[in-house]
Amino acid sequence: MIETAFLAIFALGAVSGAVAMFFLRHPMRVALALIGTMLSLAAIYAQLGLHVIAVFQVLVYVGAVMVFMVYAIMLLDTRDRSFTERFSPLLAAGSVGLALLVAVLLAVLLRGEPLPGAGGAVQAGKTFAIVPFAREFMDGYWLYFALVAVLLLVAEIAATAVLEIRRRKPVGPATTPAAEPRHN
Amino acid sequence: MIVRRNLLVMLMFLELMLNGVILSLVVFTQLADAAAGAVLVLLVFVVAAAEIAIAVPILLLLMRSRHTLDPGAYAGLKG
């Protein structure tokens, strides 16, 4: 009973955060709403017995991704036009698309077809238990683990390369070779 | 995502959609008891982090060049 209540509270929190993201104007407030949604999702994962995924959600998404975004937001200029005008001219088309999506989801839900695998008792957290998950990951999916490591390395190199792009300095009579900084 | 005027906010909506995908993956993996789904959840986490690590510096460079994150300012290829 109390577990169902907590699940409902955190589900409502996640949906509220997502809806607030749409209506809030300042990007920092949008980021805080997204953090609230992510933390609610982590609580839902923990309630389902998926503690590994809940920890990943908080560490990776909230602790790394959203902190990076907050740093980027702090570098923004508040005089930007995107701060004062929230929505683009595509608002009407986006609203029609949202209405269509909701209609399709409702039609599928109201049809009442059972989900695949549903009906049997599922042991909570069994698939994501740390020891069998780690063993399965390193035994059967080690190639994907290696590819992901390469992807992270490429992302790190790309981020460094992007940040190293500098504006070209204009060449003029006042610029002397001795005054220019050396890039070794 | 397409209705907002700020590129960084669009990126945040992209992260929200990825979270929705992860939630769906987790639920269906639990129902089907498939180890591949659990591995895919972890891979989606990693790919999302790598994507943000590249996308945000690109946005900062765009901000540095045009001093705005309004996507309408980057419509140079529009016919």
Radius of gyration of chain A (CA): 24
- The string of pLDDT tens digits covering residues B14-27 is 999 999 999 999 88
Could B46 and A68 be called an inter-chain contact, meaning their C-beta atoms sit closer than 8 Å?
no
Q: Is A24 exposed, middle or buried (0-12, 13-18, 19+ CB in 10 A)?
A: middle
Residue B49 maps to a domain: yes
Any idea which residue has 């996507």 for tokens? B71
Residue B45 maps to a domain: yes
Give the number of other CB atoms < 10 A from CB of residue A119: 9
- The string of pLDDT tens digits covering residues A115-132 is 555 544 445 556 667 777
Chain-centroid distance, C-alpha A90 = 23
pTM: 0.79
Expressed in percent and rounded to 5, the helix, strand and coil fractions of chain B are: 80, 0, 20
- The string of pLDDT tens digits covering residues B25-79 is 988 888 887 778 888 888 898 889 889 988 988 888 888 888 888 877 777 776 6
Burial A130-157 (b: 16+ CB within 10 A, else e): eeebeeebeeebeebeeebeeeeeebee
A150 touches chain B (CB under 8 A): no
Q: Give the residue numbers spanning the domain of B31.
A: 7-70
Mutate to test the interface with A, among B1, B3, B39 (most CBs of A within 10 A): B3
Range with lowest mean pLDDT among A17-21, A83-87, A165-169, B7-11? A165-169
Residues 6+ apart with CB under 8 A from B67: A77, A80
Residue B77 maps to a domain: no
The C-alpha of A182 sits at a distance from chain B's nearest C-alpha, in angstroms, of 23
Residue B16 maps to a domain: yes
Residue B38 maps to a domain: yes
Residue B36 maps to a domain: yes
